[in-house]
Copies of this chain bind each other. A is one copy, B any other.
Amino acid sequence: MSKILNSKEIGWRLRVMRQQAGFTQEKLAEQIGVTSQQIQKYECGASKLNSDRLQQLSQALSIPVQSFFTDSDDYLPLAIAEKMLVDSYRAIPNKEVRDSILKLATHATKMTE
């Protein structure tokens, strides 16, 4: 159960990722079709990102939507099991097998009942 991030925290991530991508608020703003003031609001958490904006921003910054919600820090000290999981996954030469593992994982909740 991962923590739910508030709009301030999400806004901060947007800011960091925008800067890493080398955009000004203005440049990013015109790419997704809002004013730079609106980007500003996203970044301080005064406005919340909806599904459209999330996708537009992800595309503009070339990152997956998930980046807004999971700490990259979480992945650095990857728990042993998780590290094993990813390492194993990487090591699987057959794409179909990889895909089926991934699919299994993403749908695993259903199997618990």
Contact = CB atoms under 8 A, between A and B. Distances in A.
A9 to B, nearest CB: 10
Interface string A52-93: 101110110111111111100111001011111111111111
A82 B73 contact: no
Size category of the A interface is: 35 or more
A90 B97 contact: no
B101 A55 contact: no
Interface of A: 1-2, 4-7, 10, 20-22, 48-52, 54-56, 58-59, 61-70, 73-75, 78, 80-94, 97-99, 101-113
14 contacts: A4-B59, A6-B52, A7-B52, A20-B107, A48-B52, A54-B54, A62-B109, A64-B66, A65-B68, A81-B89, A91-B109, A92-B108, A94-B108, A94-B112
